[in-house]
Amino acid sequence: MEKARGYRVSQLAWGLACFMRKCIFSILSVGPLPNHIALIMDGNRRYAKKLNMAEGAGHKAGSIALMKLLSHSYELGVKYVTVYAFSIDNFKRRPDEVNSLMALIVEKIEEMLKEESIVNQYGVRMYFIGNLKLLNEPVRVAAERAMAATANNTKAALLICVAYTSSDEIVHAVQQSCKAKWIETEALDASKGINSVPGVEKENAVLAVHSIQGTSEDEWDEVASRTSTGVIEGNEESKEKQLVLPTIKVSDIERHMYMSVAPEPDILIRTSGENRLSNFLLWQTTNCPLYSPTALWPDFSFWHFLWAVLNFQRSYQYFEKKKKQL
């Protein structure tokens, strides 16, 4: 009898909480809503230490907080959520801790693919962002399976940054941009019937992507001096033949970013009171407000989420004005 009464009370409390949340979200929807929220989930280990929990328990508690935030975000109408799950720098931690985190990631991927999960409830497409070649095989296979299984979902997106740092992303984008431009230039030359331009073999080698990182300063100076007009000239036999160097623009680099599948974040949340970005989305957060509550990530609640959205709405006009000035 007592159990039944307790169950009815808990159901009533849950229903009342859902009703209040819907009312609050209806009020928030009158103003501008964030389209993309990015998260640095900081404080899992400190949370476990504070409560004398077993090692790794803090990250499990943090995963529960993440599921709640995802539910609140998609219910409000946020389309993109990006989470910093595992940095490349985290591979420097103890092997047993890294293996534990990798196992937890696989476990959560499997949970999110279940029929009753948030992913299926809100029609979420999953992306795994980063240098996936650095992941061990079970995590990489699980990530690829999740991306394939959710590829047709279009209502919302979840971007999980694993084996990721912003500096690695930028280097990758520059390398891919160079490759694309080189292929484009060779195809253009071939269409014009230009097989090669005598005297530019050295420049070709210097500009080739595979040798970019190993190019010496003297070599770059030599190329720059010979191409100051944007043109590489051949020898006496081919003065009329000229090879125009391709130009890499900001748009080219952005197109090859890991994060090119999503717009720039509207809010960046980092818990535990830290203000550092820790090599996360450095390129994409030029005009993004940072919200850094003192709560550790597992303690991040609905009210913290609500305050982040209210702060976004309060500063919306200011950041929109900044964007237009660029």
**Catalytic choice (42, 89, 218, 266):** 42
Instruction: Judge contact between 39 and 295, C-beta under 8 A.
Output: no
Quote the mean pLDDT of the chain.
84
Instruction: Give the type of residue at 119.
Output: V
Look at residue 199 in the predicted model and tell me its pLDDT. 45
Instruction: Judge contact between 68 and 299, C-beta under 8 A.
Output: no
Percentage of the chain exceeding pLDDT 70:
79
What is the average per-residue pLDDT within 51-68? 93
DSSP 170-229: HHHHHHHHHHHHHHHHHHHHHHTT----TT-HHHHHHHSGGGTTT--HHHHHHHHHHTTT
Q: Are strands 231-233 and 156-164 parallel, antiparallel or unpaired?
A: unpaired
Q: Interhelix angle for 57-76 vs 2-28, to 10°?
A: 50
Q: Is the pLDDT of residue 81 over 90?
A: yes
Q: Is the pLDDT of residue 215 over 80?
A: no
* Nearest of 13, 40, 57 to residue 282 by alpha carbon: 40
* Nearest of 78, 80, 82, 69 to residue 33 by alpha carbon: 78
**What does the domain layout of the chain look like in residue ranges?**
32-164+265-324, 166-190+249-257
Q: How confident is the model at residue 245 (pLDDT cuts 50, 70, 90)?
A: low
Q: Under CATH, domain 32-164+265-324 is a member of which superfamily? A: Decaprenyl diphosphate synthase-like (3.40.1180.10)
Cα 96–Cα 98–Cα 99 angle in degrees, nearest 5: 65
Instruction: Judge contact between 207 and 183, C-beta under 8 A.
Output: no
* Nearest of 175, 178, 187, 159 to residue 284 by alpha carbon: 159
Task: Report the C-alpha gap between 55 and 65 in whole angstroms.
Answer: 17
* Nearest of 28, 26, 7 to residue 316 by alpha carbon: 28
Burial 148-165 (b: 16+ CB within 10 A, else e): ebbeebeebbbbbbbbbb
Q: Is the pLDDT of residue 26 over 50?
A: yes
Q: How confident is the model at residue 93 (pLDDT cuts 50, 70, 90)?
A: very high
The position carrying tokens 């985290």 is 90
What is the average per-residue pLDDT within 133-142? 95
Look at residue 12 in the predicted model and tell me its pLDDT. 74
What is the pTM assigned to this prediction? 0.82
Instruction: Judge contact between 71 and 112, C-beta under 8 A.
Output: no
Q: How far is CA 307 from CA 53, 72, 314, in A?
A: 29, 13, 10
Burial 263-292 (b: 16+ CB within 10 A, else e): ebbbbbbbbbeeeebebbbebbbebbbbbb
Look at residue 16 in the predicted model and tell me its pLDDT. 83
Q: Is the pLDDT of residue 228 over 90?
A: no
Phi, psi of 276 (to 5 degrees): -80, 150
Look at residue 118 in the predicted model and tell me its pLDDT. 93
What is the average per-residue pLDDT within 90-117? 93
Look at residue 185 in the predicted model and tell me its pLDDT. 79
Annotated active-site residue 42? The verdict is: yes
Q: Is the pLDDT of residue 240 over 50?
A: no
| DSSP classification of residue 31 | S
**How far out from the chain centre does Cα 26 lie?**
29
- Contacts (Cβ under 8 Å, ≥6 apart) of 262: 36, 80, 82, 127, 157, 159
